[in-house]
Each structure stands twice: as structure tokens, then as C-alpha cells.
Structure 1
Amino acid sequence: MKFATLRNGTPDGALVLVSHDGRHALPVPRIAASLLDAVQRWEAVRAPLEDRYTALNAGDATDAIAFDPHACAAPLPRSPQWLDASAFLNHGRLMEQAFNTPPIPHFDTIPVMYQGASDDFLGPHEDVPLPSEADGIDFEGEFGVVVAPVAMGATPQQAQSAVRLVVQINDWSLRALGPHEMQTGFGFLQAKPSSSFAPIAVTPDELGDAWHDGRVRMRLHVQWNGERFGEPHGGEMNYSFGQLIAHAARTRQLTAGSIVGSGTVSNQSRDAGSACIAERRVIEKIDDGAIRTAFMRFGDRVRMQAKYDDGRDGPFGVIQQRVAQATAPQP
């Protein structure tokens, strides 16, 4: 099934099913008020949602409407928690060089993960308000999963079975603020503003063979101001989502609706390009001896879209956003 959330003035928005071809949407208020509600009551609502989804794709849903991605909030405008990993070791090792930090112990055997803000996710076409260009504005393209309840101490196999939805994410970063926060030992806060999501969340079966071994085996095509930036492949993810979820649940349970991210999609091949500016900058430094690429400026735009290996558009839709200067709060 494919889901989206339409903005309606409430914190969680209105849930709709989205047709296979992405042209039509079907409100389902009698089944679930929101996607968070659906995930939290999954076993009770799955069958009626599947029935309505079948009717929508067969053209039998008389109350279907045109699907407009610009009317969408994030699939989950807010979540119990947002946990982001660095599951592509190539990216993590490049970032060690970028931030001049010592190697992380056991990086290739124990995932690294931080807890970010989950109370104010951005929709796929919303402007991204940020306070200062001097903060080092950067995009980060990645994939994520939304989970059912996960028991403390779950195995990777048990954790993998808890995946309910797969999502595409732009995890915004403020690179000038990151090094200090990492050195404090308390993790990211100001360096990680609200993340953005593609309009459509999908059940894993919608991906077909592109969902395999707990990984999204698709290319994430990234453009910056209309120019190609990269299309790294999600199949190079070193830790599966099952492993990431189990890591998060080692000492605590996860509630339904929690989101676990892969971290920036990154490939060893330079030809794949990158999914964030910081990675390109450190590659420039390593390969050419000097950084040439600046971070984003107000008015810059970024576009992200996952695609299948055969070139077909992926099921998540498009993230296309503009960076804007945040307005000062009114007294």
C-alpha cells in the first residue's frame, strides 16, 4: 500500500491512500484518522485499508480524488521518535576526515545513531526556514523505515519483521554547528533542524525486488539548483534496517510510529556522486587537495527522487524544496 498525509490544520494531517500510478488518492477517515493512528493500530486496520487500496487501483472508489503532492505534509508530520544512523560506512569514514575526528571504535560492527527532533517534520514541497547561511546549510538524502512496536532486546530478524513502512528523507544538517556538538559528547541538537520527507510512504511489498535484505536497493537521484549532484545506490548500505532497529532497541522498547533512518546514502564509487554537500567537499579535499564547493545559500533548491535500477520513478514521489531565511519570532 501507498500512503500520504494531506495538510488539514491538525498536527497529524489527514490520511489518504495513493494509487499505484500516483494519480489518485482516497481518504479513509472511517478507518484511520492519520497515518500515525494507522501504524499504532496496524493489525486492526490493515485489512480494511487493503480492501480500499484494491478498490482505488481498480477504479472502483467513487470518492477518490486527484493526488496533489504539493498539498502533502510529511507522511508522519510528527513521530514518537526519530533515530538516524550512519549505515553507509563509506560516508562515515569520509566524515571522519571532514571533521578531523578520530576513528569511531567498532564502527564496522556496531552502528552509530543519534536521536533527532521528531515533532515538526517538513513536507516534500515546503520551504525550509533556517536562521543563517553561516551555519553551513547542507542536504542529506537517505531512506528510512517506520516501525511497529519493537521489544527491548529484539534480534535483527525480529526487528526487521516490525518494519511497516519505507520512506525517503532529506535529513537537513548545519555543518558549521556539528563539530562543537560532537565534541561535547552530548550529540546533535542545533546542527540538526527539521527533516523533510517525500510525500508517499509505502509498505515494503510495494518495492518488489528493490526491498531485499532490509535495504532499499534503489538509486537516490539528487539535484542542486537543477544540476546533477549524485545518484548513490541504497544497496551499499552496510547495516540492514533490521540491524539498525535492533541496535536502537537494545536497552529500550520502541513504540509504533518510530522512524529509523539509514543516514546519507553513500557509495565508494566517485562516479555515483554524493547525497550531501559535506561528502563532496571532503572528496574534493582528498582527490584535489582543495575544497571548491560551498554550502547552500538562501534561495537554493534541492530535488531528490528514488528510482529503480531500470530507470523507473520510485514510489515515494519527489522532495523539491527551497532554503529560505527564517523570520524572527514576533514579540
Structure 2
Amino acid sequence: MKLATLDDGTRDGCLVLVSRDLGAILACDDVAGTLQEALEDWDRVSRLLAAMAERLDHGGAAGARPFDAGAMKAPLPRAWQWLDGSAFSTHGQLMQLAYDLPPVPSDIPLMYQGLSHRFAAGHEDMVFPSAADGIDFEAELAVIVDDVPQGVSPEEALGHIRLVMLVNDWSLRVLGAAEMRTGFGWVQAKPACSAAPVAVTPDELGDRWKDGRVHLPVMVHYQGGRFGEADAGCMDFGFHELIAHAARTRALCAGTIIGSGTISNPAYNVVGSSCIAERRAIEKIERGAPHTPFMQSGEAVRIEVRQRRGSLFGAIDQRVVVAGRD
């Protein structure tokens, strides 16, 4: 099943079903008005939505209309919680080697709690105060859970994953480096994330959903060409393990979003990277200094996952706008 949130002028939008080919939508406000409402009553609501989705996919749903990505918000325009992991060790190792950073633990997931009260739509311009702050994209996958009890095991956590989504975790790298030195974590360096318009249930992935991982490449296009196409299945910790880590000492409420961190592969010289910072780290290691600049006003990035049927989540296709004067 595929779900999206139609922008109806309210903060949380209106929940709609989306056909598998991303060709049509169907309002489902008689079942659940918003995605958050659906997540809080998932066992009941999902059965009703699945029956409606079956009719939509077979052309028998009265009231269906064309899908328009530009009319959609993020699947969850605001969430109770955004917990972002760093589940790809290659990314951390490259950054550590390039900038002589201290080693990080490899036996537990890395995770921070970021801004959750706003997720930008995948088509809207992103406004930043200054290009001097080091504007960077980060292609990630994420999962949305229902209510997760404290102390859940990784095996039990798998059963709490309700939806998978595609995220651009925007970062301001110059500010991030300064904030990391304080030891208090990120605030200014982590503005709102963006999300592709469609969230999907894990069964939509077929055999590409395995071991709490999505075994598909995530394509990043930047500066008119392919920037990266790293396999999201190369996570050192699966989403179920990230959830169990987050829930060790607290319960997670329905609508919590758990991110994978920047997608990165050991074969980065073949598949490329999912953020500029990693490309710069590789350049520093191999050429002595970084050469790829961070994003400037007017530049755009496109992030997408494709299957045989076409785009899985729809695309994140965004332009940077610098509001201040540099």
C-alpha cells in the first residue's frame, strides 16, 4: 500500500491512498483524516485502507483522481519524533580518515534526535540564511513506526515498522563542525528534513525488504549528472536494530520516524556518494584537499528510488534559495 498527504491548507494535510504506479490518488478521510490518525489505530485502519488500495490499483475506485506530486506535503508533515541513525560505517570511516576524527563505537548504532515539527515537501524550495554555512544534501531512507514499547527486541521491532519513506536530511556542514566541538550536538546545523511524497508499506518492496533493510539503490542527481547510486541495503544495523536502540530506555509513540543516516557503500568509487561531505572527504583522502563545493543558491538536487514499475516513493527534487547576503 502507498500513502501520501494531500496539501489541503492545514498543517497535517489530508491522507490519501496512491496507486502502485503513482498514477492516481483516492481520498480516505472516512477511514482516517491524517496519516498520524492512521498510525495510531493501524491494525484497524490498515485493513480498511488495504481494501481501498486494491480497488484503486484495479481501476475500480470511485472518486479517484490523478496523482500530482506538487500537491503533496511530506507523508508526515510534522512528526512526534525524528531519530536519525548513522547505519553505514563506510560514511563514518571516510569522514574519520579524511579529517583525523577520533574513532566511533562500532558495536552500537549512532543516533541523534533532530527537528521533527516540520518535514518539507519533496518539491518545495529550501531557504537557508547563507551559502557560507556549507549547504549539503543527505539521501536517506527512513521508517515510520506505530507505538513501540520500551525495551523492545530487534526481532519484535520489525513488527512495528509500518511505512518506509525517502528523506533528504539537509545539513549545514560549517555550522555542524562548530557544534560538534561543543559536545552538545546539533541545533543550527540541522534544519528541517525533506521527504518524497509517498510512503510505502514494507510489503510493497517485495524481496527487496529483507533483514530490516531496503535492498535498492538510491539515486542522487546533482549538477546535471549522476552524483551517487549507493545500495541502501548495506546498512551495518538494520532498521529493526535502530528502533530497538532508540527504545532501550523509553517507548516510542506512533508516528516516530527513524532515519538510516547517509547511504554509503564500500565501493564508493563505483557507486558515488549520497552527500557532498562524503565526496569532499574522498577527495581529501585521494587528492590531498576537497574540491567539490557545497551547494549555492539556485542549485537543485534530485533523489529517487526506482523499481521496475517506476518511481517507488516519487522524487525529492528541490532547489536551494539563499535568503541572506553572503
Letter in 2 for 1:147: V
Cα distance in 1 between the residues matched to 2:136 and 2:258 = 20
Cα distance in 1 between the residues matched to 2:272 and 2:77 = 30
Letter in 2 for 1:51: A
1:8 CA drift (Å):
1.1
Tell me which of 184, 195, 198 is aligned to 1:197.
195
Percent identity, aligned pairs only, is 52
Cα distance in 2 between the residues matched to 1:100 and 1:320 = 34
Matched, 1:320 2:292: no
Cα distance in 2 between the residues matched to 1:33 and 1:232 = 36
Deviations 1:91-127 (A, max 9, x none): 01122234542111xx221001000001111001000
Report the secondary structure of 2:305's partner residue. Answer: strand
Letter in 1 for 2:281: V
Deviations 1:10-45 (A, max 9, x none): 111011100011100000110001111111111121
- Tell me the TM-score normalized by structure 2: 0.97
Letter in 2 for 1:298: S
Report the secondary structure of 1:280's partner residue. Answer: helix
Equivalent residues of 1:98, 1:278 under 8 A apart? no
Cα distance in 2 between the residues matched to 1:91 and 1:161 = 28
Residue in 2 that maps onto 1:262:
260
Tell me which of 147, 151, 154 is aligned to 1:153.
151
Deviations 1:22-78 (A, max 9, x none): 100000110001111111111121111111111111111110010000111100001
Residue in 2 that maps onto 1:304:
303
Letter in 1 for 2:16: V
Residue in 1 that maps onto 2:288:
289
Deviations 1:159-191 (A, max 9, x none): 111000000000000000112211222111110
- After TM superposition, the structure 1 = structure 2 runs for residues 196-275 of structure 1, keeping only pairs within 5 Å, are 196-269=194-267, 270-275=269-274
Cα distance in 2 between the residues matched to 1:312 and 1:284 = 36
Equivalent residues of 2:264, 2:274 under 8 A apart? yes
Q: What is the root-mean-square deviation in Å for CA atoms of aligned residues?
A: 1.3
Report the secondary structure of 2:38's partner residue. Answer: helix
Residue in 1 that maps onto 2:275:
276
Cα distance in 2 between the residues matched to 1:327 and 1:78 = 26
1:313 CA drift (Å):
3.2
- After TM superposition, the structure 1 = structure 2 runs for residues 130-141 of structure 1, keeping only pairs within 5 Å, are 130-141=128-139
Residue in 1 that maps onto 2:75:
75
Equivalent residues of 2:130, 2:324 under 8 A apart? no
User: Where does structure 2 lack aligned partners over 5 or more consecutive residues?
Assistant: none
- Tell me the TM-score normalized by structure 1: 0.95
Tell me which of 160, 176, 184 is aligned to 2:174.
176
Cα distance in 2 between the residues matched to 1:327 and 1:294 = 19
Report the secondary structure of 1:50's partner residue. Answer: helix
Cα distance in 1 between the residues matched to 2:100 and 2:121 = 34
1:148 CA drift (Å):
0.8
- Following TM superposition, where does structure 1 have runs of at least 4 consecutive aligned residues deviating by more than 3 angstroms? 97-100, 311-314
Residue in 1 that maps onto 2:13:
13
Cα distance in 1 between the residues matched to 2:89 and 2:310 = 26
Cα distance in 2 between the residues matched to 1:225 and 1:39 = 38
User: Where does structure 1 lack aligned partners over 5 or more consecutive residues?
Assistant: none
Letter in 1 for 2:64: A
Deviations 1:235-261 (A, max 9, x none): 111100010000000111000000000
Residue in 1 that maps onto 2:48:
48
Letter in 2 for 1:222: V
Cα distance in 1 between the residues matched to 2:77 and 2:192 = 10
Cα distance in 1 between the residues matched to 2:71 and 2:324 = 23
Equivalent residues of 1:99, 1:179 under 8 A apart? no
Letter in 2 for 1:32: A
Q: Paired residues, what number?
A: 324
